[in-house]
């Protein structure tokens, strides 16, 4: 039993290798306790894992695993090359935040003034901390290897040749008109949307769309229904706007409207992913769509419909968008080209009710004036020439094939351990873990074995959380899917070794695609 | 004398062609009175100019001129194809806004819920309502005709060929590292900045930089010193963040620190343009820079240093940046490539104190995840190859030449009317008007004569306002400068005709470059 005072004796850590719980789990729990109780306060810098490992006479992997758990759950904030800090906003605070953060908590390292309360909230949230590589089974990325880079470059250069001097200056804050017109036509044809080109507001992707609409529609303290589980980027944008998140459960018909009504009968806004619930993959039934619209009308709520990957239904016809059923102009529709094209273009859009187009354009001009021209021109040409529709069709085949390979390999190597059901669309799958296997710990082990899987419980904002794995396949070429499942199988057997699981696999490192 | 009830008899307009004041001025003043007194409330739609002209038996030009004045001053909001509305936030409200806007003012045209109070503020502000063409003497645009479009396209295609799959996904929220490193080196060499690459946060231009820093540093109701006169885009971003603007006068040494201290001794933030005050063109003296830093330390204020066109000093060495003198990490430095390259690229940056780099990166990830890759890569190559420095050198010559031509032409044709002094840097000039000539009316007349000049009084947030003209020359080729001054001369003589000045010139239309 090792017992050591840490952080100037503020915290005592007592670890026991004889216990059933692995050392990293013990360390994680004791640090978490110190953070939640306030003994370790927000902004405190954690010692480097090497230093703490020496001090506690542990392997560095053990410390790293404990830090990773704390980081995954939001208790500490890390960035490569800059150490780790205790978060000022703990996961406990993020749920239903009724109060602004105390503004009297200056960062310790400089004599400059402190950030604003709003700024503290904003700067401690974070959506992605750096480049996301397309390693198996990272989620949320399209197939980089199948993108027509050359065709895109050709259109880009042709577009640049067409540029007139008057296009090089400041432009319409809502975006390039010919592109907005094409997008509206595409949405009218494929999603039955009620819109015109002028209702399409171009943004730099869904994150900006979410930030923009949260600021335009919400005041501090407003209640927002979010699907539980859901997307952390949505949660971040809403929390940054001071929203009070009300997690509403999802069943096999989508968001449970009646459950939401009991939790919070007067939401100001309702956020849904009806085409394919993120991350569970459920399609919201027509009956539920109508019930939601009726409730929203009655309660006076906005609806935000995020249609992030509706393009990738492999067969058949999707249900019409909720926006197409709305008769009251209360649905804001979100689309992105990060999935259908590439994230690096930073292109997404909002479709807003006609009467709000001017207001959203103005707001966009205040937040960053207007979107850049070149990507918009290139995308317009890509759509106009039919290459966009062709790319989508091709990607549907590619993604269906990759999903089939992933399911086949899992059934072959991990059939007794993971349960996956085929989905009729999308870019990721959710796998069930056996009873009693903790998804966060399992993902740690898998990471040490060179494969990235996401714990389903991490998509929840509160208890109860379902255990499971989220496996992205869209970005992963078939060969890498096969290798990835091999490594996942290694991770399944790793915990049976008595030592810290991470030690078993870590030499193999991370696998490139 | 025409006297007509309007807007369902809410307002009575009485116009008299026999008065000294032109009819459009009378109409403007009576409408403005009705708006300020609240007889015409926010959100009311104005009749189309054609309709009102018929009703009042006026020429349509007269009505348009009155609407333009109201629009320029912010009493009404217009957009092409969508009519005009009374603003909910009047110019009077924008100054020192201590209260959030009343949230009980739903837009009249739909049954959807109302916007948030914050959203109303945001959507009624606006930075630019559409494309800005490089016509004489539009201000704030670089020389499109001198930009090396082909060289840029070549680098763009080369960059695209270098792209690796892992660059196509989500990236560092603070921007492309090699570019940030080059920018920091450039700033250390040219502006003596204290920074490293990691302190440079790439944004989509100054408007996003302002919006980002306002949210990170300010809470609702915080006092902010702004230079008087100043930049409307800055005011919009600050007001959208709920800041209370404190306009501080500027003399020939820059911002008057002692005057500011009397107006508001505890500002949370101080916004300055020390290299070249916008729009007056004054350089802040070294003494004043030091006094400002001392005051900021004493009062605990942040300083935001906007160095928007410091590149365009034609000769000599500029004073070092205020950031280079700061020992307390309280200066945020703003730079943009909208002036040194082109606005359509949407590239700008913040340099933040080292201890805040992580915080700003997180905030950037929440507001729009990260900047697009291609423009950043191309700019990095443009800087690395020396083409950026060469372009800046070339532009200094071009701008100095254009300024000389503008001054020469003004002295030649308008010497008795406009007084301009040569500036040693920059992209625009401020001209003095004779005593008693109203700059807003003059700019209306000039517009009707086919030339765009900006009234200096429009850059002020409050009385007293200096009368004058802001004349951009950087974007205007020499021939067009000559023609533009000819038209300006026509505008000077136009008011002598008794009829509405606009009628005299309007047939000539707007001049292309």
Report DSSP letters for B182-251, one per residue: HHHHHHHHHH-----GGGEEEESSHHHHHHHHHHHH--TT-EEEEEES--HHHHHHHHHTT-EEEEEEEE
Cβ distance of B374 and A375 shorter than 8 Å: yes
Query: What is the predicted pLDDT for the residue at A33?
Result: 78
Taking contacts as CB-CB distances below 8 angstroms, the residues of chain A near B170 are 128, 131-132, 140-141, 343-344
pLDDT for the residue A104 = 38
Phi, psi of B86 (to 5 degrees): -70, 135
Question: Closest by alpha carbon to B43, among A195, A329, A359?
Answer: A359
Per-residue pLDDT at B34: 80
Enumerate the residues of chain A whose CB falls inside 8 A of the CB of residue B359: 107, 115, 119, 123-124
**What is the least distance, in Å, from the CA of B483 to any CA of chain A?**
19
Which residues pair with residue A224 across a beta bridge?
A: A245, A269
Whether omega before A279 lies within 30 degrees of 0, making that bond cis, reads yes
Within 10 angstroms of residue B496's Cβ, the number of other Cβ atoms is 8
Specify the fold of B4-95.
Answer: Arc Repressor Mutant, subunit A (1.10.10)
Which residue bears the tokens 């290299």? B275
Integer angstrom CA distances of residue A26 from A6, A16, A23, A101, B411: 15, 8, 5, 30, 82
A160, A217, A344: residue with CB nearest B168: A344
The Cα A492–Cα A446 span in angstroms is 8
Provide the number of CB pairs (under 8 Å) joining chain A to chain B.
354
B158 Cα distance to chain centroid: 35
Spans of chain A, pLDDT less than 70: 1-10, 20, 37, 78-82, 89-110, 129-130, 494-513
Contacts of B128 in chain A (CB under 8 A): 170, 173, 365, 369-370
Cβ-based neighbour number of residue A159 at 10 Å = 21
Residue holding tokens 């930073």? Answer: A346
Q: How many Cα neighbours within 13 Å face the side chain of A50?
A: 1
Q: Which residue of chain B is at minimal alpha-carbon distance from A101?
A: B219
CA of A283, closest CA in chain B: separation in Å?
25
Nearest residue of chain A to residue B117 (CA atoms)? A219
For chain B, which residues score pLDDT lower than 70? 1-10, 20, 37-38, 73, 78-82, 89-110, 129-130, 494-513
> Least CA distance to A120: which residue of chain B?
B216
Which of A354, A368, A475 is closest, CB to CB, to B208? Answer: A368
For residues A101 and A93, give the distance between their C-alpha atoms in angstroms, rounded to a whole number. 9
Contact A204 B141 (CB under 8 A): no
What are the domain boundaries of chain B? 4-95, 147-385, 390-506
Q: Name the burial class of residue A23, with classes exposed (0-12), middle (13-18) and buried (19+) by CB atoms within 10 angstroms of its CB.
A: buried
Of B147, B173, B205, the CB nearest to A368: B205
Element (H, E) at B480: helix B478-493
Q: Which of B185, B183, B164 is nearest to B174 (CA)?
A: B183
Encoded tokens for A162: 């067409």
Is 3.40.640.10 the CATH classification of the domain at B147-385?
Answer: yes
CATH of domain B390-506: 3.90.1150.10
As a whole number of angstroms, the distance between CA B472 and CA B426 comes to 9
Q: Decide if A81 contacts B358 (C-beta within 8 A).
A: no
Q: Coil, helix or strand for B484?
A: helix
Q: What pLDDT score was predicted for residue A510?
A: 41
Mutate which of B82, B112, B153, B296 to disrupt the A interface (most A C-beta within 10 Å)? B112
Disruptive mutation site among B123, B166, B296 for chain A (greatest number of A CBs within 10 Å): B123
Residue with tokens 């699907």: A227
Question: Which residues pair with residue A336 across a beta bridge?
Answer: A348
Preferred mutation among A358, A360, A361, A378 to probe B, highest tally of B CBs within 10 A = A358
Beta-carbon separation of B372 and A367 below 8 A: no
Is A373 close to B107, i.e. CB distance below 8 A?
no
Closest-CA distance of chain B to residue A405, Å: 22
Which of B367, B371, B378, B512 to mutate: most A Cβ within 10 Å? B367
């Amino acid at each position: 039993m090792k017992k050591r005072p840490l952080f100037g004796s503020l915290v005592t850590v007592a670890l026991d290798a004889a216990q059933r719980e692995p050392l990293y789990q013990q360390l994680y729990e004791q640090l978490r306790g110190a953070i939640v109780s306030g003994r370790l306060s927000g902004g405190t810098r954690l010692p480097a894992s090497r230093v703490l490992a020496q001090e506690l006479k542990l392997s560095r992997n053990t410390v790293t695993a404990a830090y990773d758990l704390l980081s995954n759950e939001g208790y500490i904030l890390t960035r490569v090359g800059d150490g780790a800090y205790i978060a000022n906003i703990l996961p406990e605070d993020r749920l239903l935040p009724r109060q602004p953060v105390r503004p009297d908590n200056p960062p310790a390292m400089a004599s400059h003034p402190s950030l604003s309360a709003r700024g503290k909230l904003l700067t401690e949230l974070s959506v992605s901390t750096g480049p996301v590589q397309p390693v198996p089974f990272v989620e949320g990325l399209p197939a980089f290897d199948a993108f027509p880079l050359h065709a895109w470059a050709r259109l880009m250069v042709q577009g640049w040749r067409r540029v007139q001097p008057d296009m090089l200056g400041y432009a319409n804050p809502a975006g390039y008109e010919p592109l907005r017109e094409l997008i509206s036509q595409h949405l009218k044809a494929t999603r039955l949307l009620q819109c015109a080109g002028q209702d399409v507001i171009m943004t730099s992707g869904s994150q900006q769309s979410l930030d923009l609409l949260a600021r335009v529609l919400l005041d501090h303290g407003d209640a927002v229904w979010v699907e539980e589980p859901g997307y952390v980027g949505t949660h971040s944008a809403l929390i940054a706007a001071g929203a009070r998140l009300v997690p509403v459960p999802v069943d096999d018909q989508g968001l449970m409207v009646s459950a939401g009504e009991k939790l919070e009968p007067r939401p100001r806004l309702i956020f849904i992913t009806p085409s394919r619930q993120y991350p569970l993959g459920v399609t919201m039934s027509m009956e539920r769509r109508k019930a939601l619209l009726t409730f929203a009308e009655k309660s006076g709520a906005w609806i935000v419909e995020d249609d992030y990957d509706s393009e990738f239904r492999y067969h058949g016809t999707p249900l019409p968008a909720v926006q197409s059923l709305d008769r009251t102009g209360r649905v804001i529709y979100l689309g992105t080209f990060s999935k259908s094209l590439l994230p690096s273009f930073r292109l997404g859009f909002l479709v807003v009710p006609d009467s709000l187009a001017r207001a959203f354009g103005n707001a966009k001009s205040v937040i960053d004036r207007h979107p850049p021209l070149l990507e918009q021109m290139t995308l317009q040409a890509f759509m106009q020439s039919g290459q966009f529709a062709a790319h989508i069709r091709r990607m549907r085949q590619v993604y269906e094939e990759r999903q089939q390979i992933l399911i086949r390999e899992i059934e072959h190597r991990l059939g007794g351990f993971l349960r996956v059901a085929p989905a009729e669309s999308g870019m990721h799958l959710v796998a069930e873990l056996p009873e009693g296997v903790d998804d966060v710990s399992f993902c740690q082990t898998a990471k040490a074995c060179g494969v990235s899987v996401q714990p389903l419980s991490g998509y929840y904002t509160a208890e109860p959380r379902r255990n499971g794995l989220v496996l992205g396949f869209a970005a992963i070429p078939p060969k890498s899917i096969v290798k990835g499942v091999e490594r996942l199988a290694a991770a399944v057997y790793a915990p049976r070794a008595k030592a810290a699981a991470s030690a078993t696999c870590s030499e193999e490192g991370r696998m490139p695609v």
